[in-house]
Amino acid sequence: MFALCDCNNFYASAERLFRPELNGKPIVVLSNNDGCVIARSEEAKACGIKMGDPEFLVRDLIKKFGIEVFSSNYVLYGDMSERVMHNLARWFPKLDVYSIDEAFGWLGGIKGLQHYIPEVRKSVVRNTGIPVSIGVAPTKTLAKLANKLSKKTNGVMVLDNDEKITAAVKEFPVHDLWGVGRQHYKKFEALGIRTAAELRNMPEMWFKQNMTIMGQRMWNELWGRPAIPLEVMREVKKGITVSRSFRNYIEDPGVLAEALTLYASRLAEKLRNEKLRCLYLQVFLYTNKNREDHPQHFPSHTHKLLIASNSTTDLVSIAVRVSARLFRPGVKYRKAGVIATGLVPESELQLNAFYDHDHGKKDVVSAVLDKLNLAYGRGTLRMATEGYEKKWRLKHEYLSQGYTTRWSDIIKVK
C-alpha cells in the first residue's frame, strides 16, 4: 500500500503558522518580483482569486476582501517542508519526497491503516503546525486520487479494497488524474470519457496505442496493480540553474557583474549541498521580449572548466568574465542566470596532470564560507563583487520574517 501525504495550501499554511490571527482570513502568496499569485488559502479561492493571476489585475479584489498578501519566502517554506518530511519519515518504512509539499510513503506490512493513518496526520499537525491530507491505496496513482478526495472529508482516505476503489473512481474527474495532461484530456474529451472509471474501462491496447508506456502503467495502476515504483534514491541531476528577473533594468556591466556574482555563489552552494561538481558553466542574459521599443539581446555562453568544480571563487570568476563579454552597451537587461551542467559526484573528481590546481585550498575556503553563512545567515560572508546596495534584487514588498532560520526573527513570547 502507498500513501500520498500532501500539505494543504502549503505556502499559505506556512505563513499562517506564525500569524495565528490570520486563521480563517484570505491569504495569497506572490511569485518572484511579486508578479503573480502562486498560492491561495481556501478563503482567497472563495473571493475569486485564481492561480496565476497577475497581482496588478487582482488588486481591487485584494482591497475589497482585505486579503493578506505575502511575497514568496522560499527559505521559510523549505525549512517547514523539511520538518514535515522528517516527521513523515518516522511513520513510513520508505519515503519518496515528491515535491516541496508532497511525499509518497510505502506502508509495507503495516496493519490497521484506518487507525494508523489518522495518527500519522495528527502527528504532523501537532509537531509542525502544517495541515496535511493523506490518501492511501494499492498504487501511487490511486493514492493520489484518494488524497484529492480526502480534502473533502476529514483529511484521510484509505482505499484498501476493490469496493472502495470502484466507488472512488466512479465520479472522479478524469482531468484530475495524476499523469493526465492537456493533450491527453483532449483525446478523452473527444471520446466522451469524463471519469476515471470510464477511462480504466477502456481496453489496455487503447492505452498502449494512445498513451505509450506511461498509459499502460496508468491502466494497471487504476486497476490496483502497482506499476510506478517508489523512488527512494533519486537520479543524479543533469543540471542546476540559478536565475532571476531584476527589479529594474540593468544597463551597467558592473551592476550586471554584481547580480551574476550572487547567482554563481548560490549555484556553488547548491552544488556543494548536493555533493556535486560541474564541468560546464553557462551564463545567459535576457532582455524584455515584450518591449518592442527596447533593443533585443539574448546572449549565452558555456565555459568548460579544466577540472570540475563547486568552488564559489571559481564559478564567480567565470560568471563575471563571461558576463563582461556578453554585455552590450545600450541594452536593457531584464534577467540573467547561470547553469551548471556536466555534473559529477565529488567522490569521482578527475584531476588534470597538466593543470596547476589548488582545489584543496578552495574546498577549505568554501567550507568556511558555508559554515559562517549557516551560523549567521546567508550573505554574512560573500564575494566583494556582489556589491552592497543591490537595487536590482527581486521585489519583495510583502516578505515575511525568517521565523525558523534567522535568530533575530525568532518569535519572543512574553
Residue-wise pLDDT tens digits, 90-137:
999 989 888 899 999 998 888 889 999 999 999 999 999 999 999 999
Reported as a pLDDT band with limits 50, 70 and 90, residue 352 is low
Q: What is the pLDDT of residues 244-260, one digit of tens each?
A: 888 888 898 999 999 99
Residues in a beta bridge with 300: 284
pLDDT at 70: 93
Q: Which residue from 343, 378, 354 is spatially nearest to 306, judged by alpha carbons?
A: 354
Burial class (CB in 10 A: 0-12, 13-18, 19+), 195: middle
Beta strands in 183-271, from DSSP E residues, in sequence order: 239-250
What is the edge-to-edge ordering of all strands in the sheet holding 102-106? 94-99, 102-106, 2-7, 132-137, 156-158
Best CA proximity match to 268, nearest among 372, 383, 354, 189: 383
Q: Tell me, what's the pLDDT at 389? A: 67
Which residues of the chain are in CATH 3.30.1490.100 domains? 239-386
Cα–Cα dist 403/27, whole Å: 18
pLDDT for residue 363 is more than 90: no
Q: Average pLDDT for residues 379-403, to the nearest whole number?
A: 78
Check residues 280 and 350 and name the one with the higher pLDDT. 280
Considering the entire predicted model, what is its pTM?
A: 0.76
pLDDT in tens, 74-95: 889 999 999 999 999 999 998 9
Q: Is the pLDDT of residue 304 over 90?
A: yes
Amino acid at 323: S
What digits encode the pLDDT tens for the residues 189-232? 777 888 888 888 888 787 777 777 777 888 888 888 888 887 75
pLDDT value for 367: 82
**C-alpha torsion angle, residues 195, 196, 198, 203 (rounded to 10):** 150
Q: What is the dihedral of CA 43, 49, 55, 57, to 10 degrees?
A: -140
Give the pLDDT confidence score for residue 44 in this predicted structure: 92
Which CATH number is correct for 239-386, 3.40.50.300, 3.40.50.2300, 3.30.1490.100, 3.30.300.30? 3.30.1490.100
Report the pLDDT value the prediction gives residue 91, as an integer from 0 to 100.
92
Q: What is the CATH number of domain 8-76?
A: 3.40.1170.60
pLDDT confidence tier of residue 158, bands split at 50, 70 and 90: very high
The residue type found at 33 is N
**pLDDT range class, residue 336, cuts 50, 70, 90:** very high
* 174 C-beta neighbours (distance < 10 Å), count: 19
Tell me the C-alpha distance between 17 and 130, whole Å: 7
Mean pLDDT of 176-183: 79
Within the chain, which residue ranges are assigned CATH 3.40.1170.60? 8-76
> What pLDDT is attached to residue 105?
92
Q: What is the mean pLDDT of residues 343-350?
A: 78
**What's 178's DSSP letter?**
T
**C-alpha distance across the termini of the chain, in Å:** 46
